Amino acid sequence: MKETSTLFRRTAIDPIQFQTALDLLRDARRVVALTGAGSSTPSGIPDFRSNDTGLWSKVDPFTVASVWGFRENPQRFYNWMRPLAGDILAARPNAAHQALERLERCGKLHLIITQNIDALHQKAGSQSVIELHGNLRTVSCPTCAFADDAALYLDAFIDDGVLPICPQCNAVLKPDIVLFGDPLPEKAIVQAQEEALMCDLMLVAGSSLEVMPAADLPALAVRSGARLILVNLGLTPYDHLADVILRGDVEKVLPKLADALENS
């Protein structure tokens, strides 16, 4: 309990809750993690919903980051996207990503479901990742369905502001990320729901659990008999379902969980 008490002094986490989380992780046979923007903000990627610093505090998301906004004015979308894309492509995994990779490597984490588009879990070495909201690795043409490696277009866009143009029909290419009004990738959401049904423990890290249908995955897991651990700085609509709530920074809490599990 000495290590747990030290963490309690540094992050104000209840040591009993921390120990309960460790016990649940040790006993679980199939652990699935769900991560949100809070797992990537320590890497320098802004989140979307914080009152003062979130991306939606500065612009109307339905104007700049919706499928309708993209169709109406792709230049406006890319003007908004340019600094964010630069931040994402320059970002490196932080201690939270590395902790989840360690849990996967030691056999305690079956799979990660992420709402993030930054691929930082993969950069950290995680092998099993479901990307619910797409990624910046590929681009597609909304007119003729041409698809290609995003790096061939986004690097020039970030450096010089050159819009990515489809070589087949001259329409503006769209990154393969989910905008407002876009359906989630069918394969990804179906697989995520199946994993929520099959897991016996879900670990939610850095997600406000406000965006559907991803936010309903913890409830789906609990209804199927799984236990639930929430690691987040703020409240979520699903706190009442959690077996354990660790109210702290994922970059500090997850490494401590990984340390304790590796040393147990």
Q: Is 240 a catalytic residue?
A: no
Q: How many CB atoms lie within 10 A of CB 107?
A: 9
Token reading at 15 = 């040591």
| Greatest Cα-to-Cα distance within the chain, rounded to the nearest angstrom | 64
- Measure the CA–CA gap between 137 and 11, rounded to whole angstroms: 36
Catalytic residue among 97, 110, 121, 133: 133
For the annotated catalytic residues, the residue numbers are 133
